[in-house]
């Protein structure tokens, strides 16, 4: 293998994987995580929640149907890098506008193929998610080790601030539909576009705010309800989001402003309520996670992307767990028994993944009608 098309992945534990470059030449560091979805790589690449992460696709053949911008969850490519067993260059999707290789190259994102992704995923499952550096310009393990040591840890980066500061942030470029219904204020910590689409389909007029918004700004906008969006990173680092969640919960003790948190927004609501979060061993990333709704005992398959979880033992009085993950029994949803405050850890909007949990948007709208 010539160095012209070589690329490597160096992990924090000293393991070096050698493979082939696709996408854009370069070097990027991030937390290495794996995604178990068989499809949906276009949505994964455009999801701002993947900021700061190098994504392994566990399914071996990625790129078969190309890239279609209509399936984008954001503007631009957000992961630090993509790792696959094989990048398919002969895509055949009838709506495809370009291929995966060219798409990564145009976005300045490095890809690595030709390694044993099963062995890599097994290592992550056994040891847990860890930092890594992917490179097509440096192949020396000692040099890569030093670079990785100089990279700020994932949990110490305020990735929400990085997403919001980017010119690709949804709140800077999103133009909502022309619905004349109730106004929902969506706080953008890295919002997926499919969340906004699902809200508009239900007749809500979406008003998007950056993650630094205050409750006073939301109230002055005339919003009838609030959604705290998904986003990247450790929720504890999002100080402004925790404060906003706390303010929204307290506001609902006196007046009514229904609040719904999704993924990071769910974690921020839990922290704002007085709970605590912890880091999962290797996170949940994929479109096939079984979640049980404890209220009706139904099990639904969900799309997920998170590294942190809410500790149910720390939820204060008045709050209850509503959903659990059947793989590891972690919290997937909670609500206040009296206040119109609810959150779910998974993605009811799908994209990629099933839409079996879209009923939660209707449930949230019923809060607003009460």
Nearest to 227 by CA among 266, 281, 280: 266
Beta bridge partners of 293: 298, 323
**Rounded Cα gap, residues 194 and 181, in angstroms:** 19
Residue 88's Cβ-count burial label (10 Å; 0-12, 13-18, 19+) is middle
**Rounded Cα gap, residues 114 and 216, in angstroms:** 52
φ, ψ (nearest 5 deg) of residue 211:
-65, -15
**Catalytic residue (one of 171, 284, 306, 347):** 347
**Cβ(342)–Cβ(336) below 8 Å:** yes
Q: Is 225 a catalytic residue?
A: no
User: Which sign, positive or negative, has the C-alpha torsion 25, 31, 35, 40?
Assistant: negative
Q: Is 349 a catalytic residue?
A: yes
Q: Which stretches of 192-318 are DSSP H helices? A: 193-201, 215-220, 239-251, 264-273
**Catalytic residue (one of 263, 284, 285, 306):** 263
Q: Is 87 a catalytic residue?
A: no
| Pairing outcome for strands 61-62 and 86-87 | parallel
**Catalytic residue (one of 73, 113, 332, 349):** 349
Q: Which residues are catalytic?
A: 263, 347, 349
């Amino acid at each position: 293998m010539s160095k012209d098309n070589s690329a490597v992945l160096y992990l924090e534990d000293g393991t070096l994987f050698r493979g082939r470059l696709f996408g854009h030449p370069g070097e990027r560091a991030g937390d290495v995580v794996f995604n178990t979805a068989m499809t949906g790589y276009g949505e994964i690449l455009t999801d701002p929640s993947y900021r700061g992460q190098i994504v392994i696709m566990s399914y071996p053949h990625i790129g078969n149907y190309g890239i279609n911008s209509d399936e984008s969850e954001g503007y631009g490519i957000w992961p630090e890098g993509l790792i696959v067993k094989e990048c398919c260059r002969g895509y055949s999707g009838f709506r495809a506008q370009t291929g995966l290789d060219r798409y990564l190259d145009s976005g300045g994102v490095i890809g690595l193929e030709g390694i044993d992704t099963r062995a890599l995923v097994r290592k992550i499952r056994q040891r847990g998610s860890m930092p890594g550096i992917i490179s097509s310009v440096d192949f020396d393990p000692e040099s890569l080790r030093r670079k990785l040591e100089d990279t700020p840890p994932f949990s110490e980066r305020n990735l929400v601030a990085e997403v919001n500061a980017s010119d690709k942030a949804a709140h800077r470029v999103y133009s909502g539909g022309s619905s004349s219904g109730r106004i929902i204020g969506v706080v953008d910590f890295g919002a997926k576009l499919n969340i906004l689409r699902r809200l508009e389909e239900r007749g809500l007029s979406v008003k998007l705010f950056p993650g630094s918004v205050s409750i006073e700004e939301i109230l002055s906008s005339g919003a009838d309800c609030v959604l705290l969006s998904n986003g990247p990173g450790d929720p504890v680092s999002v100080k402004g989001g925790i404060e906003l969640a706390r303010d929204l919960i307290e506001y609902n003790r006196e007046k009514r402003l229904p609040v719904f948190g999704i993924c990071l927004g769910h974690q921020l609501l839990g922290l704002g309520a007085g709970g605590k979060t912890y880091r999962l061993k290797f996170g949940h990333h994929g479109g096939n996670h079984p979640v049980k709704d404890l209220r009706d005992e139904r099990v639904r398959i969900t799309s997920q992307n998170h590294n942190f979880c809410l500790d149910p033992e720390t939820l204060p009085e008045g709050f209850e767990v509503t959903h659990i993950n059947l793989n590891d029994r972690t919290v997937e949803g909670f609500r206040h028994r009296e206040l119109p405050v609810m959150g779910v850890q998974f993605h009811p909007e799908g994209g990629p993944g099933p839409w079996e949990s879209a009923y939660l948007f209707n449930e949230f709208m019923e809060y607003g009608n009460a």
